[in-house]
Structure 1
Protein backbone atom coordinates (compact mmCIF):
# COMPACT_ATOMS: atom_id res chain seq x y z
CA UNK A 1 0.00 0.00 0.00
CA UNK A 2 1.54 3.32 -0.99
CA UNK A 3 1.19 6.63 0.84
CA UNK A 4 -1.64 7.76 -1.41
CA UNK A 5 -3.65 4.61 -0.68
CA UNK A 6 -3.13 4.94 3.06
CA UNK A 7 -4.25 8.58 2.95
CA UNK A 8 -7.44 7.58 1.16
CA UNK A 9 -7.94 4.78 3.66
CA UNK A 10 -7.64 7.21 6.59
CA UNK A 11 -10.09 9.62 4.96
CA UNK A 12 -12.56 6.79 4.29
CA UNK A 13 -12.21 5.59 7.87
CA UNK A 14 -12.86 9.11 9.20
CA UNK A 15 -15.83 9.56 6.85
CA UNK A 16 -17.27 6.26 8.06
CA UNK A 17 -16.78 7.35 11.64
CA UNK A 18 -18.51 10.63 10.80
CA UNK A 19 -21.51 8.70 9.46
CA UNK A 20 -21.59 6.37 12.48
CA UNK A 21 -21.54 9.25 14.96
CA UNK A 22 -24.05 11.23 12.90
CA UNK A 23 -21.73 14.20 12.45
CA UNK A 24 -22.66 15.64 9.08
CA UNK A 25 -20.11 18.46 9.29
CA UNK A 26 -17.15 16.12 9.60
CA UNK A 27 -18.59 13.68 7.05
CA UNK A 28 -19.25 16.34 4.40
CA UNK A 29 -15.82 17.92 4.91
CA UNK A 30 -14.08 14.58 4.48
CA UNK A 31 -16.20 13.65 1.46
CA UNK A 32 -15.30 16.95 -0.23
CA UNK A 33 -11.62 16.22 0.38
CA UNK A 34 -12.07 12.68 -0.96
CA UNK A 35 -13.72 14.01 -4.11
CA UNK A 36 -10.83 16.42 -4.62
CA UNK A 37 -8.36 13.55 -4.15
CA UNK A 38 -10.20 11.13 -6.42
CA UNK A 39 -10.71 13.66 -9.23
CA UNK A 40 -6.98 14.42 -9.37
CA UNK A 41 -7.48 18.00 -8.28
CA UNK A 42 -4.59 17.67 -5.81
CA UNK A 43 -3.27 21.03 -6.98
CA UNK A 44 -6.12 22.58 -4.93
CA UNK A 45 -4.74 21.31 -1.63
CA UNK A 46 -2.07 23.99 -1.13
CA UNK A 47 -4.71 26.70 -1.65
CA UNK A 48 -7.16 24.91 0.67
CA UNK A 49 -4.46 24.52 3.32
CA UNK A 50 -3.54 28.19 3.05
CA UNK A 51 -7.01 29.77 2.71
CA UNK A 52 -9.41 27.15 4.08
CA UNK A 53 -9.05 28.21 7.70
CA UNK A 54 -9.65 31.87 6.89
CA UNK A 55 -12.68 31.07 4.75
CA UNK A 56 -14.07 28.79 7.47
CA UNK A 57 -13.61 31.45 10.14
CA UNK A 58 -15.33 34.02 7.92
CA UNK A 59 -18.30 31.68 7.41
CA UNK A 60 -18.54 30.89 11.14
CA UNK A 61 -18.34 34.60 11.98
CA UNK A 62 -21.10 35.38 9.48
CA UNK A 63 -23.24 32.71 11.13
CA UNK A 64 -22.56 34.13 14.58
CA UNK A 65 -23.32 37.73 13.54
CA UNK A 66 -26.40 36.89 11.46
CA UNK A 67 -28.83 37.28 14.42
CA UNK A 68 -27.55 40.84 14.93
CA UNK A 69 -27.72 41.63 11.21
CA UNK A 70 -31.24 40.21 10.95
CA UNK A 71 -32.43 42.17 13.99
CA UNK A 72 -33.24 39.08 16.06
CA UNK A 73 -30.64 40.32 18.56
CA UNK A 74 -31.24 44.02 19.05
CA UNK A 75 -28.82 46.82 19.84
CA UNK A 76 -30.45 47.03 23.26
CA UNK A 77 -29.67 43.36 23.90
CA UNK A 78 -26.06 43.86 22.84
CA UNK A 79 -25.65 46.90 25.10
CA UNK A 80 -27.39 45.15 27.97
CA UNK A 81 -24.77 42.37 27.79
CA UNK A 82 -22.30 44.77 29.43
CA UNK A 83 -24.47 45.04 32.55
CA UNK A 84 -25.25 41.50 33.74
CA UNK A 85 -22.59 39.41 35.42
CA UNK A 86 -23.42 36.36 33.27
CA UNK A 87 -22.90 38.34 30.09
CA UNK A 88 -19.70 39.91 31.41
CA UNK A 89 -18.46 36.42 32.27
CA UNK A 90 -19.42 35.27 28.77
CA UNK A 91 -17.45 38.19 27.30
CA UNK A 92 -14.41 37.30 29.42
CA UNK A 93 -14.62 33.62 28.46
CA UNK A 94 -15.04 34.60 24.81
CA UNK A 95 -11.86 36.66 25.03
CA UNK A 96 -9.91 33.79 26.63
CA UNK A 97 -11.20 31.22 24.13
CA UNK A 98 -10.42 33.51 21.18
CA UNK A 99 -6.92 34.02 22.56
CA UNK A 100 -6.50 30.25 22.99
CA UNK A 101 -7.76 29.68 19.45
CA UNK A 102 -5.19 32.15 18.13
CA UNK A 103 -2.43 30.34 20.00
CA UNK A 104 -3.79 27.08 18.64
CA UNK A 105 -3.66 28.25 15.04
CA UNK A 106 -0.08 29.42 15.57
CA UNK A 107 0.89 26.12 17.17
CA UNK A 108 -0.66 24.08 14.37
CA UNK A 109 1.21 26.22 11.83
CA UNK A 110 4.53 25.89 13.60
CA UNK A 111 4.16 22.24 14.69
CA UNK A 112 1.95 20.40 12.20
CA UNK A 113 2.85 17.10 13.90
CA UNK A 114 0.22 17.82 16.57
CA UNK A 115 -2.64 18.18 14.07
CA UNK A 116 -3.38 14.45 13.74
CA UNK A 117 -3.69 14.03 17.51
CA UNK A 118 -5.88 17.10 17.84
CA UNK A 119 -8.14 15.92 15.03
CA UNK A 120 -8.45 12.43 16.51
CA UNK A 121 -9.22 13.91 19.92
CA UNK A 122 -11.90 16.09 18.36
CA UNK A 123 -13.45 13.18 16.45
CA UNK A 124 -13.48 11.09 19.64
CA UNK A 125 -14.95 14.00 21.60
CA UNK A 126 -17.72 14.33 19.04
CA UNK A 127 -18.31 10.57 18.97
CA UNK A 128 -18.17 9.82 22.68
CA UNK A 129 -19.32 13.04 24.33
CA UNK A 130 -21.66 14.56 21.72
CA UNK A 131 -19.29 17.48 21.22
CA UNK A 132 -19.03 19.72 18.19
CA UNK A 133 -15.97 19.83 15.92
CA UNK A 134 -14.70 23.26 16.92
CA UNK A 135 -12.27 21.84 19.43
CA UNK A 136 -8.99 21.60 17.52
CA UNK A 137 -8.18 25.31 17.75
CA UNK A 138 -9.01 25.59 21.44
CA UNK A 139 -7.33 22.25 22.16
CA UNK A 140 -4.24 23.41 20.29
CA UNK A 141 -4.31 26.65 22.28
CA UNK A 142 -4.40 24.71 25.54
CA UNK A 143 -1.67 22.43 24.24
CA UNK A 144 0.43 25.47 23.34
CA UNK A 145 0.24 26.60 26.96
CA UNK A 146 1.67 23.25 28.02
CA UNK A 147 4.34 22.60 25.39
CA UNK A 148 5.32 25.80 23.60
CA UNK A 149 6.53 28.85 25.46
CA UNK A 150 7.89 30.47 22.29
CA UNK A 151 4.59 31.63 20.78
CA UNK A 152 4.44 35.42 20.95
CA UNK A 153 1.16 36.77 22.34
Structure 2
Protein backbone atom coordinates (compact mmCIF):
# COMPACT_ATOMS: atom_id res chain seq x y z
CA UNK A 1 0.00 0.00 0.00
CA UNK A 2 1.47 3.32 -1.11
CA UNK A 3 1.92 6.37 1.04
CA UNK A 4 -1.03 8.05 -0.73
CA UNK A 5 -3.36 5.37 0.63
CA UNK A 6 -1.92 5.72 4.11
CA UNK A 7 -2.36 9.50 4.02
CA UNK A 8 -5.96 9.27 2.86
CA UNK A 9 -6.69 6.65 5.53
CA UNK A 10 -5.27 9.04 8.12
CA UNK A 11 -7.54 11.80 6.78
CA UNK A 12 -10.48 9.38 6.92
CA UNK A 13 -9.62 8.47 10.52
CA UNK A 14 -9.36 12.13 11.46
CA UNK A 15 -12.73 12.73 9.83
CA UNK A 16 -14.26 9.94 11.90
CA UNK A 17 -12.64 11.28 15.09
CA UNK A 18 -13.84 14.78 14.28
CA UNK A 19 -17.33 13.45 13.49
CA UNK A 20 -17.06 15.17 10.11
CA UNK A 21 -19.13 13.11 7.72
CA UNK A 22 -18.12 15.29 4.77
CA UNK A 23 -14.40 14.88 5.42
CA UNK A 24 -14.78 11.12 5.91
CA UNK A 25 -16.88 10.78 2.76
CA UNK A 26 -14.41 12.83 0.72
CA UNK A 27 -11.57 10.59 1.91
CA UNK A 28 -13.53 7.43 1.00
CA UNK A 29 -14.34 8.79 -2.46
CA UNK A 30 -10.72 9.69 -3.11
CA UNK A 31 -9.58 6.29 -1.82
CA UNK A 32 -11.99 4.51 -4.17
CA UNK A 33 -10.99 6.67 -7.15
CA UNK A 34 -7.32 5.93 -6.43
CA UNK A 35 -7.95 2.20 -5.93
CA UNK A 36 -9.89 2.01 -9.20
CA UNK A 37 -7.05 3.86 -10.98
CA UNK A 38 -9.39 6.62 -12.14
CA UNK A 39 -6.52 9.10 -12.15
CA UNK A 40 -8.04 11.13 -14.98
CA UNK A 41 -10.68 12.41 -12.53
CA UNK A 42 -8.13 14.00 -10.18
CA UNK A 43 -7.20 16.93 -12.47
CA UNK A 44 -10.91 17.65 -12.98
CA UNK A 45 -11.50 17.64 -9.23
CA UNK A 46 -8.49 19.89 -8.68
CA UNK A 47 -9.49 22.28 -11.45
CA UNK A 48 -13.30 22.42 -11.10
CA UNK A 49 -14.04 20.97 -7.66
CA UNK A 50 -13.76 24.27 -5.84
CA UNK A 51 -16.02 25.99 -8.36
CA UNK A 52 -18.62 23.24 -8.07
CA UNK A 53 -18.46 23.34 -4.28
CA UNK A 54 -18.90 27.11 -4.28
CA UNK A 55 -21.78 26.80 -6.73
CA UNK A 56 -23.64 24.42 -4.40
CA UNK A 57 -22.85 26.60 -1.39
CA UNK A 58 -24.25 29.68 -3.15
CA UNK A 59 -27.32 27.71 -4.28
CA UNK A 60 -27.96 26.63 -0.68
CA UNK A 61 -27.62 30.20 0.59
CA UNK A 62 -29.80 31.74 -2.12
CA UNK A 63 -32.55 29.10 -2.10
CA UNK A 64 -34.53 30.74 0.75
CA UNK A 65 -34.76 33.92 -1.32
CA UNK A 66 -36.65 32.09 -4.05
CA UNK A 67 -38.72 29.71 -1.90
CA UNK A 68 -39.86 32.14 0.81
CA UNK A 69 -42.53 34.74 0.06
CA UNK A 70 -41.01 37.07 2.64
CA UNK A 71 -37.45 36.78 1.29
CA UNK A 72 -37.25 40.30 -0.16
CA UNK A 73 -38.80 42.02 2.86
CA UNK A 74 -36.48 40.10 5.22
CA UNK A 75 -33.53 41.12 3.05
CA UNK A 76 -34.49 44.80 3.21
CA UNK A 77 -35.09 44.57 6.97
CA UNK A 78 -31.66 42.99 7.47
CA UNK A 79 -29.98 46.03 5.92
CA UNK A 80 -31.69 48.26 8.46
CA UNK A 81 -30.25 46.43 11.47
CA UNK A 82 -26.73 46.68 12.91
CA UNK A 83 -26.20 42.93 12.54
CA UNK A 84 -27.35 43.13 8.91
CA UNK A 85 -24.81 45.85 8.18
CA UNK A 86 -22.12 43.83 9.96
CA UNK A 87 -23.10 40.80 7.85
CA UNK A 88 -22.63 42.92 4.72
CA UNK A 89 -19.20 44.02 5.94
CA UNK A 90 -18.37 40.41 6.85
CA UNK A 91 -19.25 39.31 3.33
CA UNK A 92 -17.09 42.06 1.84
CA UNK A 93 -14.14 41.12 4.05
CA UNK A 94 -14.58 37.40 3.38
CA UNK A 95 -14.53 37.85 -0.39
CA UNK A 96 -11.44 40.05 -0.17
CA UNK A 97 -9.70 37.44 1.99
CA UNK A 98 -10.77 34.65 -0.37
CA UNK A 99 -9.23 36.58 -3.28
CA UNK A 100 -6.01 36.99 -1.30
CA UNK A 101 -6.13 33.26 -0.53
CA UNK A 102 -6.50 32.38 -4.20
CA UNK A 103 -3.51 34.54 -5.08
CA UNK A 104 -1.45 32.94 -2.31
CA UNK A 105 -2.37 29.41 -3.38
CA UNK A 106 -1.50 30.22 -7.00
CA UNK A 107 1.94 31.51 -6.03
CA UNK A 108 2.64 29.15 -3.11
CA UNK A 109 0.71 25.91 -3.85
CA UNK A 110 2.82 23.89 -1.40
CA UNK A 111 1.11 25.73 1.49
CA UNK A 112 -2.10 23.76 0.87
CA UNK A 113 -0.72 20.88 2.97
CA UNK A 114 -0.34 23.10 6.04
CA UNK A 115 -3.76 24.66 5.44
CA UNK A 116 -5.42 21.25 5.20
CA UNK A 117 -3.62 20.12 8.35
CA UNK A 118 -4.71 23.29 10.15
CA UNK A 119 -8.27 22.72 8.95
CA UNK A 120 -8.21 19.14 10.24
CA UNK A 121 -6.94 20.28 13.62
CA UNK A 122 -9.64 22.97 13.68
CA UNK A 123 -12.33 20.40 12.87
CA UNK A 124 -11.17 18.04 15.58
CA UNK A 125 -10.31 20.38 18.42
CA UNK A 126 -12.30 23.56 17.70
CA UNK A 127 -15.47 21.96 16.33
CA UNK A 128 -14.82 23.81 13.10
CA UNK A 129 -16.35 23.33 9.68
CA UNK A 130 -14.16 22.86 6.60
CA UNK A 131 -15.22 25.46 4.05
CA UNK A 132 -12.25 25.16 1.76
CA UNK A 133 -8.74 26.36 1.22
CA UNK A 134 -9.59 29.87 0.06
CA UNK A 135 -10.50 31.22 3.48
CA UNK A 136 -7.52 29.45 5.05
CA UNK A 137 -5.36 30.95 2.30
CA UNK A 138 -6.90 34.37 2.80
CA UNK A 139 -6.24 34.32 6.52
CA UNK A 140 -2.71 33.04 5.87
CA UNK A 141 -2.12 35.89 3.41
CA UNK A 142 -3.48 38.41 5.93
CA UNK A 143 -1.31 36.99 8.73
CA UNK A 144 1.70 37.06 6.41
CA UNK A 145 1.07 40.71 5.48
CA UNK A 146 0.70 41.63 9.16
CA UNK A 147 3.88 39.69 9.95
CA UNK A 148 5.81 41.55 7.23
CA UNK A 149 4.37 44.88 8.40
CA UNK A 150 5.46 44.37 12.00
CA UNK A 151 8.87 42.92 11.08
CA UNK A 152 9.84 45.75 8.71
Secondary structure of the structure 2 residue equivalent to 1:118: helix
Once residues 119 and 132 of structure 2 are traced to their aligned partners in structure 1, the CA distance between those partners, rounded to angstroms, is: 6
Greater than 4 Å deviation, 4+ residue runs = none
Given candidates 28, 49, 58, the residue that maps to 2:25 is 28
Alpha-carbon spacing, 1:26–1:148, altered in 2? closer, same or farther (3 Å): same
- CA drift at 1:130: 0.5
Q: Deviations over 1:43-101 (max 9, x none)?
A: 11111111111011001111111111211651100111211111101110111012111
How many residues align? The count is: 146
Alpha-carbon spacing, 1:113–1:67, altered in 2? closer, same or farther (3 Å): same
Alpha-carbon spacing, 1:148–1:47, altered in 2? closer, same or farther (3 Å): farther
Alpha-carbon spacing, 1:32–1:78, altered in 2? closer, same or farther (3 Å): same
Once residues 139 and 9 of structure 1 are traced to their aligned partners in structure 2, the CA distance between those partners, rounded to angstroms, is: 24
Once residues 89 and 69 of structure 2 are traced to their aligned partners in structure 1, the CA distance between those partners, rounded to angstroms, is: 23
- CA drift at 1:110: 2.1
Once residues 69 and 125 of structure 1 are traced to their aligned partners in structure 2, the CA distance between those partners, rounded to angstroms, is: 34
Once residues 145 and 42 of structure 2 are traced to their aligned partners in structure 1, the CA distance between those partners, rounded to angstroms, is: 28
The residue number in structure 2 matching 1:52 is: 49
Query: Residue 67 of structure 1 contacts residue 73 of structure 1 at CA under 8 Å; is this kept in 2?
Result: no
What is the TM-score when the length of structure 1 is the normalising length?
0.88
Unaligned runs of 5+ in 1: none
Once residues 144 and 73 of structure 1 are traced to their aligned partners in structure 2, the CA distance between those partners, rounded to angstroms, is: 39
1:140 aligns with 2:133: no
- CA drift at 1:136: 3.1
Q: Which has the higher contact order (CA 8 A, sep 6+)?
A: 2
Unaligned runs of 5+ in 2: 147-152
Secondary structure of the structure 1 residue equivalent to 2:40: helix
Once residues 23 and 69 of structure 2 are traced to their aligned partners in structure 1, the CA distance between those partners, rounded to angstroms, is: 29
Once residues 51 and 106 of structure 1 are traced to their aligned partners in structure 2, the CA distance between those partners, rounded to angstroms, is: 17
1:67 aligns with 2:70: no
What is the TM-score when the length of structure 2 is the normalising length?
0.89
